[in-house]
Amino acid sequence: MKKPVLFSKILLVALVGLFFSCNQAPKDNTPWKPLFNGENLNGWTQKGGEAKYTVKDGAIVGSTVHNTPNSFLTTNEMYSDFILELDFKVDSTMNSGIQIRSNSFPYYMNGRVHGYQVEIDPSKRAWSGGIYDEARRGWLNTMDDNPEAQKAFKQNDWNHYRIEAIGDTIKTWVNDVPAAHLIDDKTASGFICLQVHSIHDDKKAGTEIIWKNVKILTDSLSKYAKKTPVKPIITKNQLTIDEKKNGWKLLWDGKTNRGWRGAKLDHFPEKGWVIEDGILSVLSSGGAESRAGGDIVTAELFGDFELKVDFKLTPGANSGIKYYVDTEINKGPGSSIGLEYQILDDDLHPDAKLGNHEGSRTVASLYDLIKADINKPINPIGEWNTAHIISKNNHVEHWLNGVKVLEYERKSEAYKKLVSESKYVKWPNFGELDKGQILLQDHGDHVSFKNIKVRPLNNN
């Protein structure tokens, strides 16, 4: 009669064991690598401000300091594609963030850290998990349209972030709730860093943010990547949030030739230019004397303006962005007349050694008139660069990849002297139009363009 009792005990033990095994969290077999050893800050370097970073109880503690810029504790190693997870606890009065694919270059804002930031925002705005472009373009993906993610953040408690950066796609999760979904190809690689935001005198110094369990995955990403139901924000040939606020508009829609025509035509060229995958390219036709499509110009005229254009060169290529163009001038052979932001392979194209002043035909120069700064930051041939032209009240600046490389005063005596000594001397009042078209040049070489944006200024 004791056998049923024994059997019942064995069954009870088995059921209890089954209960506990079923309720245990599944083992994470993901091959994570720790970014923080839990003991010291080996493998990390502080950049920017003078906030204090210490290690306490196996966690990194960041403390605010008055009168110092944003501070960043950065990884010494650079990362391109990865999945990152970490836990943090932040004071409810602070603002912070996790920088990814970020960089610090001496030529850019004196080494200021810049790049993508996954926001930590305990304020009522509740944009934690959103994506900000630190020291560059501003907000790219806010949380206004994702109330579930806004509610996921826990005040004065530990929060868990998951960040996936794979190719041109960045996705974030806040406590396992899908947050941001951004498609943007501005930067492919950089360091990861933990931010302590600057504070004003009205904020308490010594306020803390704490990070722990910082781990990264860089292999077999397709196997471990998660899907997100969040609709992506795509920035290619689109205006960012801050650009919309600041009066920018698209000069090319990324799909059609609307708003553009041939410089010597009443329509867009039927050959020589192609639009494919959001990229506008002038094709190679064997050199300047055999241009297939010719230059293209905007239908709209611009006076004071800001212009940004991403461009990509092929080896040995030559092109240009012209402004204050009047296509009624020079109806004959050659390009339409206007001031030119030169686009050139400085290493392979012979024009780099020519010009009124040696070097005045190099990339980002004011063609044949003013040489761009010799220390200009240029990405290698085959990679994208950003041209930026600002013209206001006759003061003109050329920028390349976020760095000003030259400036001049249009219509000034010094400017007129340069023109008198150049190939443009035969054109009366060259470059002095109050308004003109913007032109992309066909010089017979394969050059590509995208993200063409303009901001009309005060007298348009």
In angstroms, the CA 372 to CA 355 distance is 12
Give the Cβ contact number of residue 253 at 10 Å.
Answer: 14
Comparing 9-18, 86-95, 195-204, the range with the smallest average pLDDT is: 9-18
Do 216 and 82 form a contact (C-beta atoms < 8 A)? Answer: yes
- Residue 234: predicted pLDDT: 97
In this predicted model, what pLDDT tens digit does every residue of 61-71 receive, in sequence order?
999 999 899 99
Q: How confident is the model at residue 278 (pLDDT cuts 50, 70, 90)?
A: very high
Q: How far is CA 316 from CA 364, 366, 381, 444, in A?
A: 16, 19, 9, 11
In this predicted model, what pLDDT tens digit does every residue of 34-64 receive, in sequence order?
999 999 999 999 999 999 999 999 999 999 9
Give percent of the chain with pLDDT exceeding 90.
82
Q: How confident is the model at residue 182 (pLDDT cuts 50, 70, 90)?
A: very high
Torsion of CA 245, 246, 247, 248, to 10 degrees: -100
- Residue 16: predicted pLDDT: 46
For 286, residues 6+ apart whose C-beta sits below 8 A from its C-beta are 444
- Residue 358: predicted pLDDT: 74
In angstroms, the CA 451 to CA 308 distance is 7
At position 126, the amino acid (one-letter code) is A
In this predicted model, what pLDDT tens digit does every residue of 142-181 receive, in sequence order?
999 999 999 999 999 999 999 999 999 999 999 999 999 9
- Residue 185: predicted pLDDT: 95
Indicate whether this model's pTM tops 0.85.
yes
Domain 33-232 classification at class level: mainly beta
pLDDT (average), residues 177-197: 97
Phi, psi torsion values for 227, nearest 5 degrees: -80, 155
Q: Please give, one letter per residue, the 3-state secondary structure of the chain.
A: CCHHHHHHHHHHHHHHHHHHHHHCCCCCCCCCEECCCCCCCCCEEEEECCCEEEEECCEEEEECCECCCCEEEEECCCECCEEEEEEEEECCCCCEEEEEEEECCCCCHHHCCEEEEEEECCCCCCCCCCEEEECCCEEEECCCCCHHHHHHCCCCCCEEEEEEEECCEEEEEECCEEEEEEECCCCCCEEEEEEECCECCCCCCCCEEEEEEEEEECCCHHHHCCCCCCCCEECCCCCCHHHHHCCCEECCCCCCCCCEEECCCCCCCCCCEEEECCEEEECCCCCHHHCCCCCEEECCCECCEEEEEEEEECCCCEEEEEEEECCCCCCCCCCCCCEEEEEECCCCCHHHHCCCCCCCCCCCCECCCECCCCCCCCCCCCCEEEEEEEEECCEEEEEECCEEEEEEECCCHHHHHHHHCCHHHHCCCCCCCCCEEEEECCCCCCEEEEEEEEEECCCC
- Residue 460: predicted pLDDT: 47
- Decide if 33-232 and 241-456 have a common fold: yes
Do 259 and 440 form a contact (C-beta atoms < 8 A)? Answer: no
Q: How confident is the model at residue 191 (pLDDT cuts 50, 70, 90)?
A: very high
- Residue 23: predicted pLDDT: 57
Phi, psi torsion values for 37, nearest 5 degrees: -85, 0
Do 405 and 296 form a contact (C-beta atoms < 8 A)? Answer: no
In this predicted model, what pLDDT tens digit does every residue of 218-233 receive, in sequence order?
999 999 999 999 999 9
- Residue 9: predicted pLDDT: 54
Q: Strands 233-234 and 177-183: what pairing?
A: parallel
Q: Which two tokens stand for residue 102?
A: 């970020």
Do 418 and 390 form a contact (C-beta atoms < 8 A)? Answer: no
pLDDT (average), residues 122-149: 97
In this predicted model, what pLDDT tens digit does every residue of 313-343 receive, in sequence order?
999 999 999 999 999 887 767 788 999 999 9
Q: Domain ranges in the chain? A: 33-232, 241-456
With 90 as the cut, is the pLDDT of residue 3 above it? no
With 80 as the cut, is the pLDDT of residue 357 above it? no
Give percent of the chain with pLDDT exceeding 70.
93
With 50 as the cut, is the pLDDT of residue 443 above it? yes
How much is the CA Rg of the chain, to the nearest whole Å? Answer: 28
In this predicted model, what pLDDT tens digit does every residue of 252-267 receive, in sequence order?
999 999 999 999 999 9
Q: Which two tokens stand for residue 426?
A: 């035969």
- Residue 24: predicted pLDDT: 61
- Residue 353: predicted pLDDT: 83
- Residue 199: predicted pLDDT: 81
Mean of the per-residue pLDDT values of the chain: 92
User: Quick one: fold of 241-456?
Assistant: Jelly Rolls (2.60.120)
pLDDT (average), residues 3-8: 52
pLDDT (average), residues 401-418: 96
